[in-house]
Chain A
Amino acid sequence: MIRTAALTKRFGSILAVDGVSLDVRAGDIYGFLGANGSGKTTTVRMILGLVLATSGKIQLLGQPMPGAGRAALTEVGALVEGPAAYGHLSGRANLGLLDAMGKGGVRRTRARRIDEVLEQVGLAAVGRRPVKAYSLGMRQRLGLAAALLRQPRLLVLDEPTNGLDPQGIREIRELLLQLHASGTTVFLSSHLLAEVEQLCTRVGVLDRGRLVLQDDLAKLQAPTGRTVVHTPDQDRARVLLDGRIEHRDRDRLVVRGADAAELNAMLVSGGVRVTELGPERRSLEQVVLAATDTSSHQVGVTR
């Protein structure tokens, strides 16, 4: 769906994006992670043809960008760096204008489609109020509604839950999962690890303009081959597990060996009380930190 090759953007002497090769496949919910200022938004803008790349290639839905923008972008819904709308018009009027503005917005179905997306994002009740009276969360929902208006095959969302309350975040997450289930590919750029961890199937991590990691989330979070044991009987456990303990932290032990059942049987038969036991998995935060720690450049430094 999105494929970039050695994508690079230089603003003057600053290298904002450096040789990024993304691969977002059909059916992914792709989490695009990176700290503020790591080049996420610039990359998203290049994919959408807003910012022109210094070098490198972009394919969006199989077509070269920005050249084929008019064809490819009709099947893409986007939310880039916060929503925007004409404040003096209602949410409904804003959607109508945007839909009438380009190709693919069939007039006959417009009113019905607007009703549908307003319902989907939970704005059905306030669609007729002028946007300047909307809260930040409502504007965010309106931006999402605009992205969904033409049932895109690909959704490109930059920080879609910005400004939403926990209830709203949950609603949007459920909406995205529902859209994904009906065949929409989602490209989600975010700095919120928890959001990506709950939602995404694949992740790419950008660090100071470089893609330092790109893989399936399940693979990144696969069991590490070690088992975590919580027990109050530290001394006895240490005797039993002689040499297999890799790390100890109060009543928590990290033990070499992936077979949790075998370990549990051994500890219990040896008289060790176990309060908690399970295979060790790395959290996304650990994965991301490990990947980003390896490069040591500073943001915005000339290279």
Chain B
Amino acid sequence: MIAVELRKMLRRPRTWATILLLNALPTLVAVLLAVTDLGPRPGTGPAFLSAVLSDGTLFPLAALAIILPLFLPIAVAVIAGDSVAGEAQSGTLRYLLVRPVGRTRLLVAKLISVIAFVLLAVVIVAVTAYVVGSLLLGDQPLAASVSGTTLTPEQVAVRTALAIGYITLSMLGVAAIALFLSTITDSPLAAALGALAFLIASSLLLTLDAAEALQPYLPTRYWLSFVDLFRDPIFWRDILRGVGLQAVYVVVLLGAAWANFTTKDVTS
């Protein structure tokens, strides 16, 4: 069942088109940087972007920081929002359920396929960025932490892997919102846009001083904290809070999705 869902996801042209688009923006940025040699001043622009002109191997982190605020959440919301509602809209949901596939199993398989998509997308973006960065951008091994000290290549590799894990978990929060909405509506568009509306509201409230009391609980609050993994020593506080917060969102929303989907009349 899970294998079939993964196969379905991997055989869909849309999956690859999305991943291609996710790679397009960082690659364009890399080309522009290489051609103009105009990096943002340190401390401005997306994280790590000022460093990549000298050390291209840091570009995977810059690429992730570029797609994290908007591109990646959109892709995840679209894929996760489509997972149940898309089957409902195309009418295949009823045939899956009378096949029979248990509703809980179906939901779990969909969730795993969404997680697989997020991991696949993040890893492909990181690898592409590494290749692009090595080819186009600077080759002086800088390996500088955000704090100014030097990291060994091993340290950079470990921390990059941790960053990928952290970003995946953050995106899982988005996926949980979209998946929950996907079990409520039969329209994949509504589910994806609903999840995005939630994220946009969250980002907006983060800029508002009056919403300070709410801010620690907003899903996007700690997304960019993965940068803290590259401080020396690692600044864990926000990362751990981010992990905890996403875990709560994921558990609560997936629970709600399960409760709703297993007791719902499938009339699509």
B is a partner of A: yes
Q: Give the distance in Å from the alpha carbon of A81 to the alpha carbon of B93 in the complex.
A: 12
Q: Which among B5-13, B18-26, B219-227 touches the partner chain?
A: B5-13
Q: A17 → chain B, closest Cβ, in Å?
A: 12
Q: Give the distance in Å from the alpha carbon of A50 to the alpha carbon of B1 in the complex.
A: 19
Report whether A50 and B98 are in contact in the complex, using a CB–CB cutoff of 8 Å: yes
| Residues of chain B lying within 8 A (CB to CB) of residue A88 | 11-13
Interface size of A in residues (CB-CB distance below 8 Å) = 30
Report whether B7 and A84 are in contact in the complex, using a CB–CB cutoff of 8 Å: no
Q: Which among B150-158, B179-187, B231-239, B259-267 touches the partner chain?
A: B259-267
Report whether B4 and A97 are in contact in the complex, using a CB–CB cutoff of 8 Å: yes
Report whether A80 and B12 are in contact in the complex, using a CB–CB cutoff of 8 Å: no
| Residues of chain B lying within 8 A (CB to CB) of residue A73 | 98-100
Q: Give the distance in Å from the alpha carbon of A86 to the alpha carbon of B87 in the complex.
A: 9
Q: Does B102 contact A (CB under 8 A)?
A: yes
| Residues of chain B lying within 8 A (CB to CB) of residue A102 | 1, 99-101
Partner of A45, one of B4, B11, B99, B266: B266
Q: A96 → chain B, closest Cβ, in Å?
A: 9
Q: Give the distance in Å from the alpha carbon of A87 to the alpha carbon of B91 in the complex.
A: 11
| Residues of chain A lying within 8 A (CB to CB) of residue B102 | 69-70
Report whether B11 and A89 are in contact in the complex, using a CB–CB cutoff of 8 Å: yes
| Residues of chain B lying within 8 A (CB to CB) of residue A80 | 94-95, 98
Partner of A97, one of B8, B90, B97: B8
Report whether A51 and B92 are in contact in the complex, using a CB–CB cutoff of 8 Å: no
| Given known A70-B100, A98-B95, contact A51–B265 (CB-CB < 8 A) | yes
Q: Does A74 contact B (CB under 8 A)?
A: yes
| Residues of chain A lying within 8 A (CB to CB) of residue B266 | 45, 50-51
Q: A-facing mask of B93-120, CB < 8 A → 1, else 0?
A: 0111111111000000000000000000
Q: Does A144 contact B (CB under 8 A)?
A: no
Q: B254 → chain A, closest Cβ, in Å?
A: 21
Report whether B98 and A78 are in contact in the complex, using a CB–CB cutoff of 8 Å: yes
Q: Does A148 contact B (CB under 8 A)?
A: no
Interface size of B in residues (CB-CB distance below 8 Å) = 24
Q: A8 → chain B, closest Cβ, in Å?
A: 14
Partner of A84, one of B1, B91, B99: B91
Q: B-facing mask of A56-73, CB < 8 A → 1, else 0?
A: 000000000000011001
Report whether B95 and A146 are in contact in the complex, using a CB–CB cutoff of 8 Å: yes
| Residues of chain B lying within 8 A (CB to CB) of residue A49 | 97-98, 100
Report whether B99 and A86 are in contact in the complex, using a CB–CB cutoff of 8 Å: no
| Residues of chain A lying within 8 A (CB to CB) of residue B1 | 101-102
**Which single residue of chain B is at the shortest CB-CB distance from A50?**
B266
**Which of B13, B96, B98, B265 is the most central at the interface, judged by chain A CB atoms within 10 Å of its CB?**
B98
- 7 closest Cβ pairs, A-B complex: A84-B91, A73-B100, A50-B266, A51-B265, A102-B99, A84-B92, A48-B98
Known contacts A49-B100, A80-B95; 6 further A-B pairs (Cβ under 8 A): A50-B97, A50-B98, A84-B94, A97-B4, A101-B4, A103-B100
Supply 28 A–B pairs (Cβ within 8 Å), ascending by A. Answer: A11-B265, A45-B94, A45-B265, A45-B266, A45-B267, A48-B97, A48-B98, A49-B97, A50-B98, A51-B266, A52-B265, A69-B102, A70-B100, A73-B98, A78-B95, A84-B94, A86-B8, A88-B12, A89-B11, A97-B4, A98-B95, A98-B96, A100-B4, A101-B1, A101-B99, A102-B99, A102-B100, A103-B100
Q: Which residues of A contact B (CB under 8 A)?
A: 11, 45, 48-52, 69-70, 73-74, 76, 78, 80-89, 97-98, 100-103, 146
